[in-house]
Amino acid sequence: MKEQTLLMIKPDAVRARRIGKILDQVEQVFQIVGLRMKRFQRDEAERFYAVHRGKPFFETLVDFITSGPVVGVLLEGEGVIQKLRDFIGATDPAKAAPGTIRALYGTSITENAVHASDSPESAAYEIPFFFNEEERRAA
């Protein structure tokens, strides 16, 4: 089934000037149908990561994600949600398979370069933080 998902390039990778390299690798495999740079306000970041509220790393995560601009990338394709998760690698860069985005560009479990939606439900929740309905349809 054709799906859409969200890839987010995080502030560490933006600061390290990896946007181009990451987009290049992603584009060789996936179809990019939307692109937007933004900086999260604290309340918006807390809503984006609402599923992690109450966990010990929540404040650190929100501090980090609001520390600089991020890039939202809308991707579309058959089974793209799971395929992109496999492509970026495990959450902890130290455990991510060689050649994956997090293994290449992540430096810690917090500063792990990218985020990707992990299910159709999280994609439906996360995509609107970057792209409106009209932009999704035009893709």
Task: Name which position in 30, 34, 87, 115 contacts ligand CMP (CB under 6 A).
Answer: 115
String of DSSP letters for 73-107: EEEEEETHHHHHHHHH--SSGGGSPTTSHHHHH--
Per-residue DSSP letter, 134:
H
Taking contact as CB under 6 A, which single stretch among the options 16-24, 37-45, 106-114, 131-139 is the one that binds ligand CMP?
106-114
Residue 52 annotated in active site: no
Radius of gyration of the chain (CA): 14
Distance (Å, rounded) from C-alpha 44 to C-alpha 48? 6
Which one, 66 or 91, has the nearer CB to ligand CMP? 91
Structure tokens at 103: 């293994």
Per-residue DSSP letter, 92:
S
Query: Does an H or E element contain 135, and which?
Result: helix 133-138
- The answer to whether residue 57 forms part of the interface with ligand CMP (CB under 6 A) is yes
The catalytic position among 5, 70, 115, 131 is 115
- The answer to whether residue 35 forms part of the interface with ligand CMP (CB under 6 A) is no
Q: Which residues, 85 to 104, sit near ligand CMP by CB under 6 A? A: 91
- The answer to whether residue 61 forms part of the interface with ligand CMP (CB under 6 A) is yes
Number of residues that bind ligand CMP (CB under 6 A): 8
Task: Name which position in 112, 123, 126, 130 contacts ligand CMP (CB under 6 A).
Answer: 112
Contact footprint for ligand CMP (CB under 6 A): 52, 57, 61, 91, 109-110, 112, 115
Catalytic positions, please?
115
